[in-house]
Copies of this chain bind each other. A is one copy, B any other.
Amino acid sequence: MRLKVTVAYNGANFVGWQRQSKGRTVQKTIEDIISVILNQPAEITSSGRTDSKVSALGQVFHFDSDLNIQPSQWQKALNAQLPEDIYIKNVCEVSDEFHARFNVISKRYDYCIQTGNYDVLSYPFVFQLNRALDLEKMRECAALFIGEHDFTSFNATPLEMIPYQIRTIKRLDIIDEGERVRLIFEGKGFLRYMVRMITQVLIEVGLNRLAKDDVILMFEENNKEACKLNAPPQGLTLVEVRYNDR
């Protein structure tokens, strides 16, 4: 039986999703618990990794089980053993062809910025800029990123690794939430640091430290040296991963 799992986690105390030799990771924490239940080493496959300090409200992964345990029982069993910074929101049975990474239709990432005073409660998951932003200027510039573009200048994936860096951003909304500003990104796929680099570009625009023409120039340069900006990971949350089945 293949199981599709929707999981939320607070990135503050993780060095990221992906299992690695050092540091606490979301993948290892979950795999260790599933391995005990399955009584054999388990491997889970996510929609993609998230970086150190990045949170998720709707990350998705799949894994296989031969046990006679229903999806709802899996959810209860996992939540009973997981630490308080990971929570399984949903488990459902899917066909053996389902693949959490290859079948992704779109992902939504939110980037949250505290524009009001420093907030001791939200600093682990909201970037504490603590300065006002010119949202109109940011929105004008955000329009440059929407649609299909070559994002070579706005991500950290080496061209040797992925030569084709054209991606499509379906949505880039900038929402005024009073003391906070929320950037909503939707697209089929994002390259490494792409959301955070675009976010920091838009923050600089909102602070009047970059003009729209500067951003157009960065786009035209089309190289890895054009943009050295990167917003801190704390503000980023993977909110939703969409598949054909919903």
- Of A100-108, A119-127, A150-158, the one with at least 4 CB within 8 A of chain B: A119-127
Query: Taking the complex as formed, is A72 at the interface, i.e. its CB lies under 8 A from any CB of chain B?
Result: no
Give the distance to chain B from A137, nearest Cβ to Cβ, in Å: 28
A to B CB contacts below 8 Å, 11 in the list: A8-B118, A8-B119, A10-B120, A55-B121, A57-B121, A79-B118, A84-B120, A87-B117, A87-B119, A89-B117, A121-B125
Q: Check if A203 is an interface residue, CB within 8 A of chain B.
A: no
B89:A121 contact, CB within 8 angstroms: no
Interface string of A161-185 (1 = CB under 8 A from B): 0000000000000000000000000
Identical copies in the complex:
2
Residue from B86, B117, B118 in contact with A120 in the complex, judged by beta carbons closer than 8 Å: B86
A214 at the interface (CB under 8 A from B): no
A9 CB-CB contact with B under 8 Å: yes
Q: In the complex, which residue of chain B has the Cβ closest to the Cβ of A128?
A: B84
Docked complex Cα distance between A66 and B150 (Å): 61
For the complex formed, measure the closest distance between the CB of A106 and the CB atoms of chain B, giving whole angstroms: 22
CB–CB B55/A123 < 8 A:
no
CB distance from A204 to the nearest CB of B (A): 23
The residue from B9, B57, B117, B121 contacting A10, defined by CB atoms under 8 A apart: B121
Q: Of residues 199 to 219 in A, which have CB atoms within 8 Å of B's CB atoms?
A: none
Report A245 CB to chain B, min CB distance, Å.
21
Say yes or no for A85: interface residue by CB 8 A criterion. Answer: yes
Task: Please indicate the chain B residues that have their CB under 8 angstroms from the CB of A120 in the complex.
Answer: 8-10, 55, 57, 84-87
| Cβ A87 vs Cβ B55 within 8 A | no
- Tell me the residues in window 101-152 of chain A with beta carbons closer than 8 Å to chain B beta carbons: 117-121, 123-125
Please report the C-alpha to C-alpha distance between residue A10 and residue B117 in the assembled complex, in whole angstroms.
Answer: 15
**Distance of A188 Cα from B38 Cα, bound (Å):** 57
A79 to B9, CA, bound (A): 29
Within 8 A of B (CB), among A83-101: 84-87, 89
Ranked 4 nearest A-B pairs via Cβ = A10-B120, A8-B120, A87-B118, A87-B120
Interface 0/1 of A57-93, CB less than 8 Å to B: 1000000000000000000000100001111010000
Q: How far is the CA of A76 from the CA of B118 in the complex (A)?
A: 13
Contacts of A84 in B (CB 8 A): 120, 123
Separation of A79 and B123 alpha carbons in the complex (Å)? 14
